[in-house]
Chains A and B, each alone.
Chain A
Amino acid sequence: MSYLNRIITLSLLACVSMTTFAAGNAEVNLYSARKENLIKPLLDRFTEQTGIQVNLVTGKADALLHRLKREGRNTPADLLLTTDAGRLHRARQAGVTQAVTSEVLESLIPSQYRDPAGHWFGLSLRARPILYVKQRVDPARLSSYEALTEAQWKGRICIRSSGNIYNQSLVASMIAANGAEATEMWARDFVPQFARDPKGGDRDQILAAAAGQCDLAIANTYYLAGMLESKDQRQREAAQQMGVFWPNQQGRGSHVNISGAALIKSAKHPEAAIKLLEFLVSAESQAWYAETNGEYPVRSDVSPGALLAGWGDFKKDGVNLGQLGNFNPQAVRIMDRAGWK
Chain B
Amino acid sequence: MAWNPGEDVVAVQRAPKPGGAGGAYRAFGETLRGLKTTFGRMLERPVVYQYPEEKVPVYPRFRGRHKLHKFADTGLEKCVGCSLCAAACPADCIRVVAAENTPEHRVSAGERYAAVYEINLSRCIFCGYCEVACPFDAITMGHDYEMSDYNRTDLIFTKEMLLAEPLERTPLRTEDE
A and B pair up: no
Where the two chains meet, the residues of B that have a C-beta atom closer than 8 Å to any C-beta of A are none
